[in-house]
A and B are shown apart, each in its own frame.
Chain A
Amino acid sequence: MSRFVFRYFSEVFRPRYEVGQFIRQCYVIGYLSLPLIGITGFIMGLVLTMQLRPSLMSYGVEAQLPVMVSLAIVREIGPVITALIFAGKISSGIGAELGSMKVTEQIDAMEVSGTNPFKYLVVTRVLATTLMLPVLTILSDAISMYGSYLGVNIKGHTSLQLYFIQVFQTLHFGDILPATIKTVFFGFAIGMIGCYKGYNSSKGTEGVGRSANAAVVVSSLLIFIIDLITVQVTDLLGLN
């Protein structure tokens, strides 16, 4: 695994750059994941607001609902949930796609034809997941906020302007930047695990399924481990 990662970093900055393939992967991995991420983000914001309301009402701080929900979404729930869904959709897809290419010897064929399969298949995908997950997380957070705004207005009345004023009065750089930066690591991990499992797939079609499954499981676990590490780091840096 470490050799695979090292090879990635050695290949990513070395020409020739597969720009077309990279853009295509960005489109497939990023844009085509937006509907799923958007719907889950919207429901997440709405449900979180509705679930938090009774607890805040018991303390008489119902007015703090936008503040609490926005902090929870931006700092933790938005990045982690988006990454988990992204892992479920993309990591398994990459694992299955590269695995089937591996067992059908398409990767070997690419090597024979003079194309660098690692650069073409792995670097473009890992780079796409690394750059697209932060964008998806930002959009998911925005959609979650809107869902939360609707959730606040189900049993109350708060204008959109007041809602976002309250949200941005609460948020600090320490809330947005670490959460956004850690999604880069999430994306990298998801792409890397998916590619590794697929690239090293074996034992025929059975191995393809196993690679896809392992890619999802490992990348999901890795998301939580990275999350734990980034929280510790941001805490040490005094950004919490």
Chain B
Amino acid sequence: MRKKTTVQNITLGVFVTAGLVILVVSLYLVGKNQNMFGSSFHLRARFRNISGLQAGNNVRFSGIQAGTVGKITVIDDTSIEVDLLVNEEMKPFIRDNSLVSIGNEGLMGNKVVNITPSRLPGNPARDNSLLHTKPDVNTDQMMEAFSTVGDNVEIISGGLVSTVNRINESNALWHILNDTVMTQELHLAVINLRIASGNINQLTLALSDVVKDAQAGKGAAGAIIADTAVAGDLRAAMANVRNMSEQSAVLLRHLDSLVGTIQNNIDKGDGLAHAMLHDSSMTGRVSRSLLQVENGTASFNEAMTALKHNVLLRGYFRKVEKRKKGSGQRDSSLIAN
């Protein structure tokens, strides 16, 4: 029974202690957030309007929780002094040229004092230093800005209404929009454009390949571009062509003078050529002579045919034919083998 009571007492002690520990820790954390524990130093800032700032609101240095707002004192009709309780840990970082402003924790949150460090170098802030302030963007200013934006939106929407009305009243635009043929043509044009762009793309790729091959020294153009030996050969060939053309020019001049000389000789001389070119009776004579030669040849062929049939010479002609036939058979057998 006593053992059971002891266990119950211990359990009760743990239960109560747990509750008290939670309460104490909660109070400590709340107090710590309000700078009730730990050392802090004072800074001051004077505002024309504190926009509902209250004692206990948070103070932030570059967005970090740094302290709380202390006493708020009205100095005169245009300035209100706010005492800031700032953690001692933040003291080395806050300069005397830092700017103090009043802002909001979110759109609808509590007021907060922001300490913003200056870009210029300054001395560390001392206890009770008076910091410079910058005016906050208060709700009235925001509403004023919203009002201006609203006015601008109204003007823009009026312009849009006018534009839409003009579009609605435009017959030409609606005619274009209702024209189904134009739509099809535009569709076809777009298709053709797409095909053309595809072809151009392919062509570009092919040209790119050619250029790449040429740069790599492939093909004739590549050899011309990349191979220095070919370029030398080409240069030499071009020099040869130039020499040949020069020699051809000289040769042509010689031929020209030769032809001139021959022409002169033909024109002035008494040779056969002169007679054939300038004597008209010569042509008739030459024609007759050729006719006589033709007739003479025919008579000779007859005489030869007669000789083949002559008894005395027939044997000779037979031997000649046999010899021809024998040589023809040997040739054909050689071809067959």
In the complex, are the beta carbons of B15 and A34 less than 8 A apart? yes
**Docked CA distance A171–B108 (Å):** 17
Chain B's interface size range is 20 to 34
Given A23-B9, A169-B33, A172-B56, is A31 in contact with B15 using a C-beta cutoff of 8 Å? Answer: yes
Please report whether the interface of chain B is mostly helix, strand, loop or mixed according to DSSP.
helix
Say whether A139 contacts B19, CB under 8 Å: yes
Contact of A135 with B30 in the complex, beta carbons under 8 Å: no
CB of B19 within 8 A of CB of A173, answer no
Contact call B9/A176, Cβ cutoff below 8 A? no
Which residues B97-127 have CB closer than 8 A to chain A?
106, 108
Chain B neighbourhood of A135, CB < 8 A: 15-16, 19-20
Known contacts A135-B19, A138-B23; decide if A27 and B30 are in contact (CB<8 Å).
no
* Contact indicator A138/B19 (Cβ below 8 Å): yes
Contact with B along A25-57 (1 / 0, CB 8 A): 011001100100000000000000000000000
A24 within 8 A of partner (CB): yes
Q: Is the CB of A27 within 8 A of B29?
A: no
Q: A177 to chain B: which residues have CB within 8 Å?
A: 27
Assess whether A134 is interfacial by the CB under 8 Å rule: yes
**A176 close to B30 (CB less than 8 A):** yes
- Which A residues are in CB contact (< 8 Å) with B56? 172
Question: For A23, what are the chain B residues with a Cβ–Cβ distance below 8 Å?
Answer: 8-9, 12
User: CA A173 – CA B29 in complex, angstroms?
Assistant: 10
| A180 CB–B CB distance under 8 Å | yes
Q: Are A173 and B23 in contact (CB under 8 A)?
A: no
* Cβ distance A197 to chain B, nearest Cβ, rounded Å: 26
Q: Which of B8, B15, B108 has the most CB of A within 10 A?
A: B15
Are A136 and B34 in contact, with the CB atoms below 8 A?
no
Main SS class of interface, A: helix
Do A172 and B30 touch across chains, with their CB atoms under 8 A apart?
A: yes
Contacts of A26 in B (CB 8 A): 12, 16
User: Are A134 and B33 within 8 A (Cβ)?
Assistant: no
Q: How far is the CB of B225 from chain A (nearest CB, A)?
A: 64
The listed residue (A134, A168, A172) touching B19 by CB distance below 8 A is: A134
Interface flag for A96 (CB, 8 Å): no
Chain B residues with Cβ under 8 A from A216's Cβ? Answer: none
Contacts of A175 in B (CB 8 A): 30
A143's closest neighbor in chain B, by CB? B22
State whether A139 touches B18 (Cβ < 8 A): yes
In the complex, chain B residues whose CB is within 8 Å of the CB of A168: 26, 29-30, 33
- B265 contact set on A, CB distance < 8 A: none
Let me know if B128 is at the binding interface, CB within 8 A: no
Is there contact, CB below 8 Å, between B22 and A139? yes
A65 near B: Cβ within 8 Å?
Answer: no
Cβ–Cβ contact B8 & A24, under 8 A = yes
Within 8 A of A (CB), among B201-242: none
Is B31 part of the binding interface, using a Cβ–Cβ cutoff of 8 Å?
Answer: yes
> Of B16, B20, B34, B65, which contacts A30 at CB under 8 A?
B16
Chain A neighbourhood of B138, CB < 8 A? none
B243 within 8 A of A: no
Query: Using Cβ atoms and an 8 Å threshold, which residues of chain A touch B33?
Result: 168-169
Q: Are A173 and B31 in contact (CB under 8 A)?
A: yes
A103 at the interface (CB under 8 A from B): no
Further 14 A-B residue pairs, CB within 8 A, beyond A31-B11, A61-B108, A138-B22: A23-B12, A24-B8, A26-B12, A27-B11, A61-B106, A135-B15, A135-B20, A138-B20, A139-B18, A139-B22, A168-B33, A169-B33, A173-B30, A175-B30
12 residue pairs A–B, Cβ–Cβ below 8 Å: A23-B12, A24-B5, A27-B8, A27-B11, A31-B12, A138-B19, A138-B20, A138-B23, A139-B22, A168-B29, A172-B30, A176-B23
Shortest beta-carbon contacts, A-B, top 8: A135-B19, A168-B29, A138-B19, A27-B12, A31-B15, A27-B8, A138-B23, A142-B22
